[in-house]
Amino acid sequence: MRTLITGGAGFIGSHLSERFLAEGHDVVCVDNFITGRPDNIRHLLDNPKFRVIVHDVSKPLFVDGLIDNVLHFASPASPVDYQKSSIQTLKVGSLGTHVALGIAKAHGARFLTASTSEVYGDPEVHPQTESYWGHVNPVGERSMYDEAKRFAEAMTMAYHREHGVNTHIIRIFNTYGERMRLDDGRVLPNFVGQALRGDPITVYGQGQQTRSFCYVSDLVDGIYRLLFSDYHLPVNVGNPVEITIKEFADEILRLTGSKSQVVYKPLPADDPKQRRPDITLARRLLGWEPKVGREEGLKRTLDYFRKKVQAEAKK
């Protein structure tokens, strides 16, 4: 099988590329490196089954040879990244999804798009089930991402209903692991980088907002299972173990043995107050369950970030 992965040089995309290569697929990675890095995929470049096309997927793309699966993962994903590149984010969620769906239609390929828990906005239903329609501010500071992803879901369903494309929508909740960028602004790289450098840990608001963190290998397994299922409506994939951001800061301090102080900064606008996936559907449909607990996942991730911070200090 030949699998095209947009955003294949990003954090999740690079793990997906590895998994599909390990399953025996040929992988075509399409990336413009707006937030991804060549380093994420350097170890795959010698593999004859791996090919990279440097391209902005918001622009038309014609790929030689038959493609069996299209996974659309291209998009800035951290709030800092998507707010900095707001128009690119709206374009890749809308025009990019259209291009990726067009490729799937032309090749008769399976399609899966990376949606997000952000489609639920600042949720009024907890935990979040797929049947909840969400609470998104359409003109707020997160709207370029949330609305792009909501559009992407609508476009995907339209291609399924109107053109009969075999589409899938995964709603990904906060995921972490090796190859996140130390400077992507997300809570885990921020806290870990601050703890390892001995800088203050920046908790936004009172730190009472919650998140539920999923280790990347668990997510990749959920993606793989959903792609080969016959289910077309959105499916939540995430780890349902919920923690407040203050507790998370304390956990990072404990695991790193850091003496950093916690400081409180203003809570960004529209920051969701609580987030936890209801994964009943993924369990029933895909037999999927997260396997890597937070402590284990964080240890693996910390090993990765320690090397990055040491390399940074040597510069």
Q: Tell me which of 56, 178, 221, 278 binds ligand NAD, using CB under 6 A.
A: 56
Q: Tell me which of 186, 276, 294, 308 binds ligand UDP, using CB under 6 A.
A: 186
Cβ density class 170-180: b for 16+ within 10 Å, e for less: bbbbbbbbbbb
Catalytic residue among 145, 159, 215, 224: 145
The values of phi and psi at residue 26, to 5°, are -85, 135
Nearer to ligand NAD by Cβ, of 74 and 201: the residue is 74
Nearer to ligand NAD by Cβ, of 33 and 231: the residue is 33
Nearer to ligand NAD by Cβ, of 75 and 256: the residue is 75
**186: Cα within 13 Å, side-chain hemisphere:** 19
Judging by DSSP bridges, how do beta strands 210-212 and 242-244 pair with one another? antiparallel
- 128 interacts with ligand NAD by CB under 6 A: no
> 15-34 mask for ligand NAD (x: CB under 6 A)?
---------------xxxxx
Distance CA 261, CA 30 (A): 41
Cβ atoms of 252 and 229 closer than 8 Å: no
Distance CA 94, CA 80 (A): 20
Q: How many residues bind ligand NAD (CB under 6 A)?
A: 29
Is 132 a known active-site residue? no
Judging by DSSP bridges, how do beta strands 210-212 and 110-116 pair with one another? unpaired
Q: Tell me which of 211, 276, 294, 308 binds ligand UDP, using CB under 6 A.
A: 211
- 250 interacts with ligand UDP by CB under 6 A: no
Q: Tell me which of 174, 217, 256, 274 binds ligand UDP, using CB under 6 A.
A: 174
Q: Tell me which of 38, 60, 164, 268 binds ligand UDP, using CB under 6 A.
A: 268
Q: What is the DSSP letter of 108?
A: T
Nearer to ligand UDP by Cβ, of 8 and 123: the residue is 123
Judging by DSSP bridges, how do beta strands 167-172 and 110-116 pair with one another? parallel
Distance CA 292, CA 242 (A): 14
Distance CA 118, CA 121 (A): 5
User: Which spans of this chain sit near ligand UDP (rule: CB under 6 A)?
Assistant: 78-79, 174, 186-187, 190, 202-204, 209, 211, 245, 268, 271
Query: What are the residue numbers of the active site?
Result: 145
User: Which spans of this chain sit near ligand NAD (rule: CB under 6 A)?
Assistant: 6-7, 9-13, 30-36, 56-58, 73-77, 92, 96, 114, 116, 172, 174-175
